[in-house]
Amino acid sequence: MEILVTAAIIGYIIYLRYYADLRNESEKELEVVQVGVRLYTNGQFSDALEYFTRHIKTEPKSSIAYLYLARCYRALGNVPAAVNALKTGESYDDTVAELHLEMGQILYDQRDYKTAFLEFDKAVFHSKGELAAPYQWRGLTRRQLRQSDEAANDLDRAATIRQATETTKSSASSLQRAFFDRKFLSHVVLILVNSAILLVVIKKATVVHLPYLLAAVAAATIGFLEPKKGWLLAIVQALTLWISYIFFTTIPETSGKRELELFSLYGSIGLTFIGSFIGGVLKRQLAR
């Protein structure tokens, strides 16, 4: 039984480390530098430049930091420094579409349309055709290269993507997808597996400590995975545990064993809600 509990806890650690966060590296980097992004968005280019310069000293391979460093340099009129920052960012991660988009815009301003086209083409490729801006700029560049039909196709595609994006944002179904997204559903699967393991531990354990330990670790994992929706995952686990125990297991005949299982069951359910709350608080504190 101790081996099962230990294996389950190790499984949570592995899941948190490698599978819980479905974002790519660029999305993770972007979240880390939100302070600098806000400075840039608010037009505080000098402050943003200072922020990203400091950040690069601690994270020298952050392609997103180099992207915004380049944007700051460009906004301040230092185009050569912007180009150098973009090239450095591309050397660490050539798959960031915005790096190619920014480089293409600089080349477009310099009227180097052929080279700009190549950068915009890369931006379209690495964005997987999901962003409007790469198509928009590639279309404008094709106009300069006298590729009228291809330019019209790109500009139409950009308009279609923008319209689809606006429609998605305003639709009620998008709100539902934002809540029950792929990440959340994967966590539901994890909770169902944990509930099955926890039920086995409750039935087999001779003391309450093992189910309580597993329930506490699992609950903290719930809160850490979903700081805002952890309450729903906690309800799923609590209901799964209670229903499975009441309707799908054999209640012990001896009062001592029955009381032990009930203590383990309801204690685990209580710890599920307490632990998920603590895990959510911990995640929010670490994100600051």
Domain boundaries, the chain: 2-19+179-287, 25-176
pLDDT in tens, 215-232: 888 777 777 777 777 788
* Strand, helix or coil for residue 252: coil
Are the CB atoms for 85 and 73 separated by under 8 Å?
yes
Rounded to whole angstroms, how far apart are CA atoms 122 and 124? 5
Query: Which pLDDT score, from 0 to 100, does residue 175 have?
Result: 44
Nearest to 154 by CA among 186, 126, 184, 132: 132
The model's pTM is 0.58
Check residue 24 and report its DSSP letter.
Answer: -
Are the CB atoms for 16 and 221 separated by under 8 Å?
yes
Name every residue whose Cβ is closer than 8 Å to that of residue 192 and which is 6 or more positions away in sequence.
Answer: 236, 240
Are the CB atoms for 36 and 4 separated by under 8 Å?
no
Q: SS3 string of 58-118?
A: HCCCCHHHHHHHHHHHHHCCCHHHHHHHHHHHHHHCCCCHHHHHHHHHHHHHCCCHHHHHH
pLDDT in tens, 62-100: 999 999 999 999 999 999 999 999 999 999 999 999 999
- CA dihedral 160→165→170→171, nearest 10 degrees, is 80
CATH class of 25-176: mainly alpha
Residue 171, pLDDT > 70, answer no
pLDDT in tens, 119-132: 999 999 999 888 99
